[in-house]
Amino acid sequence: MNNKKLLSLFVTLSLSLSTVTSFNLKSAKAETINEDVTITILQSSDVHGRFMPWDYSADEANIKGSMTQIASIVKDVRSKNPNVILVDAGDAIQDNSVETFNKGAEQPMVTAMNYLNYDVWAMGNHEFNFGLDTLKNVTNQFKTGQAIVGNLYNEDGTRFMPAYSIVERSGIKIGVIGMTTPLIEKFEAGTDHLKGVHTTDPVEETKKVVKELEGKVDVMVGLIHMGEDNENEITNTGVTDLANAVPELSVIFAGHMHKQIDGKLINGVLVTEPSKYGERLSKVDLTFKKENDKYLLKDKKSNVIDVSKYKSDKELEDKLQPFHKALRDEANKVIGELKVMPLVPDEQIKGIPEIQIAPTALTTFFNEVQLYYSKADAVAIGIENEKAKLNIGPIKKKDIAFNYRYTGGETTVYEVTGKDLKDYMEWSAAYFNQLKEGDITPSFNPTRRNSKYSTNDIFGGINYNIDLSKPAGNRIVNLTYRDGKEIKDSDTLKLGLNSYRMDQLLSKGGALEGRSNIKKLWSSKDEYGEDAGTIRNRSIDYIMNVKGGLLDGHVAENWSLLGIDKLSKEYDLVTKLVQKGILSVPTSDDGKYTNIASININDIPKEELDNLYTKNEDDNELPITFDNNNDKVESSEPSNDSSKTNINYSDLPKTGSPIGLSLIIILGLSLTATGVSILKRGK
């Protein structure tokens, strides 16, 4: 190789290396300038005692959601990104029998939070169900993070808890602001659970905290125990009002209403909520870019994780095993025996719960318990569990909890007028849809069906009918006392029901809004104590001590739906067609709620109706015909002309079509040609 070629080669290599070196230096510099940091915030809310994948009221596994399954998700997310913040929006220590441990040295929900290194825990309304001393006992066990609630104040004007917590990841500071629904004062009315404290407006309080945090954090988020919309139409009790009033919040992590919200933008604020019972986990990714030594939020996105798809974390399960065993042992204690009949019949039509459309031995039992202890004239009960069940045989503690879901539910007696009672009953009866012509089955109002709690109350101690042919507000008929005497608007009665329901009825927009005449007379909790006074524990006492451990199942036929004939041939046919899968009960778009519309006679295939009305020659039913154009069902009188038969003309071939005429001509020509051929052969 000559010198010129050698020199040329070295020059080329030198330039190449210079270019590569220059490119790498520029790339490294650019990477430093444009370095992005993503912080992931995981949120649980309204877990309600599901520390293990187990339903202690049913005493069976439930893998829809639990803290042990959430643990698997948290570990997975942290393995991919160390910058994770873990928060909870409240309602952790009530339900699924977990409140059993609230006064002890260790609450299993908090044990799980500490194991997972939760950073922040905002208080929910159910955290206050047991009094402030109990709440302090539980929150003092929370060692890995900060318990917060900004809109609860002591009498001396100081906050009951810190309003916020600052959590830092990779030099980025996140201010987490906590608020709870101000309606806790209504929820806990008549108790001393909030003695010495009072709530403030969560929206106005958040504005104050935002000013306190200015200059201290890079981003502010809300950890708010309120739903998307205002509750009971009360201003500033929903996070929509909060987002509109405080756009400084980058994200609002909502709770309370047991809804799934998957990253909804409200006034530029990202809103998410992870449903209920640990079934979902909200995940928000905040991406920051560093500019001039300051981190700026570049992007925010969210999704909701389905917890049921994850296995339970065995290490956390081992830590929680003693609590699991203790609750199972308690749940299986036998308190009596059920005889005569099951408390709830099977669904006649799948998807239409009998517990909501007819008197049952279960609602009879709970209302008898309330009547016995309260001495009220009338009582009301709401059954949250559509799968309620209790068969003949041993009755265990778990059976009571399974069938009456509200852990702290009690009976409070109020003095009301006959008009107050009827207006309440009309509100409850509006749970049903009004019947349309041809409707065979009863159905439920989709909005009420989608409510956080059941709003279909069953009344005891009185007689009544609900006429579904009438519009809402005019359905309660034949309203009488047990002795058959009419209940007049001007009458004064003692009405027993859960205080939570009465607060709802008396609140803004409620059926009894502004009724100052309604007075509290008695409470089972005042009479028997905070725990012993619950409907659950009164029911246990009733079986064991009043009934001597033997309960005869029976149904108080004191109410019914008018406009529905469950003994009709049409209702029986619908039952069979649903069983066969030919028909199905209308369901909400998300598949959560059944029976949001009635099954109508026009929904039934016409051949099934033909069979129904013609299968017995001796039947006196009117024959069924169908309009040829739209196949609508029509009823007609039998013809007096004995020469006529009931022909369904829609089954006959239609004439007049050009194609049909052509076919007839071709067929005729073919027959003619065949005939000619035969004649020729004959010759």
User: pLDDT digit string (tens) for 334-379?
Assistant: 999 999 999 999 999 999 999 999 999 999 999 999 999 999 999 9
Q: How far is CA 496 from CA 360, 411, 415, 460, in A?
A: 19, 6, 9, 10
Q: 197 has which bridge partners?
A: 154
Last residue of a domain, one of 266, 291, 326: 326
Q: Count structural domains, the chain.
A: 3
Asked if 464 contacts 421 with a C-beta cutoff of 8 angstroms, the reply is no
- Residue 293: predicted pLDDT: 84
Query: What does pTM read for this prediction?
Result: 0.75
Q: Give the domain extent around 384.
A: 333-568
Q: Do residues 340 and 303 share a domain?
A: no
Q: Do residues 320 and 384 share a domain?
A: no
Which one-letter amino acid corresponds to residue 44? S
Judge whether 202 lies within some domain: yes
Q: Do residues 225 and 304 share a domain?
A: yes
Q: Do residues 502 and 353 share a domain?
A: yes
Q: Do residues 619 and 541 share a domain?
A: no
Range in 34-48, 414-428, 524-538, 625-639 the model is least confident about? 625-639
Judge whether 630 lies within some domain: yes
610-620 tens-digit pLDDT: 888 876 444 44
Judge whether 371 lies within some domain: yes
CB under 8 A, 24+ apart: contacts of 400-405 = 400/335, 400/536, 400/539, 400/540, 401/56, 401/57, 401/97, 401/331, 401/536, 402/57, 402/58, 403/343, 403/344, 403/362, 403/366, 404/366, 404/535, 404/536, 404/539, 405/57, 405/95
Judge whether 674 lies within some domain: no
The enclosing domain of 365 has a CATH number of 3.90.780.10
Which of 561, 590, 565, 589 has the alpha carbon at shortest distance from 575?
A: 565
Q: Do residues 286 and 315 share a domain?
A: yes
Q: Do residues 431 and 532 share a domain?
A: yes
Judge whether 657 lies within some domain: no
Q: Do residues 465 and 532 share a domain?
A: yes
14-30 tens-digit pLDDT: 444 444 444 343 333 33
Q: CB neighbours of 378 closer than 8 A, spacing ≥ 6? A: 421, 459, 460, 461, 462, 493, 494, 495, 496
Report the C-alpha gap between 88 and 255 in whole angstroms.
9
Judge whether 189 lies within some domain: yes
- Residue 121: predicted pLDDT: 99
Q: CB neighbours of 647 closer than 8 A, spacing ≥ 6? A: none
In the chain, the percentage of residues whose pLDDT exceeds 70 is 85
Dihedral sign for Cα atoms in the order 178, 183, 185, 191: negative
Q: Do residues 420 and 564 share a domain?
A: yes
Judge whether 512 lies within some domain: yes
Last residue of a domain, one of 549, 568, 587: 568
3-state helix, strand, coil split of the chain in percent (to 5) is: 35, 25, 40
Judge whether 523 lies within some domain: yes
The enclosing domain of 187 has a CATH number of 3.60.21.10
Q: Do residues 467 and 372 share a domain?
A: yes
Q: Do residues 299 and 414 share a domain?
A: no
- Residue 682: predicted pLDDT: 47
Q: Do residues 316 and 338 share a domain?
A: no
- Beta strand 152-154 with 197-199: parallel, antiparallel or unpaired? antiparallel
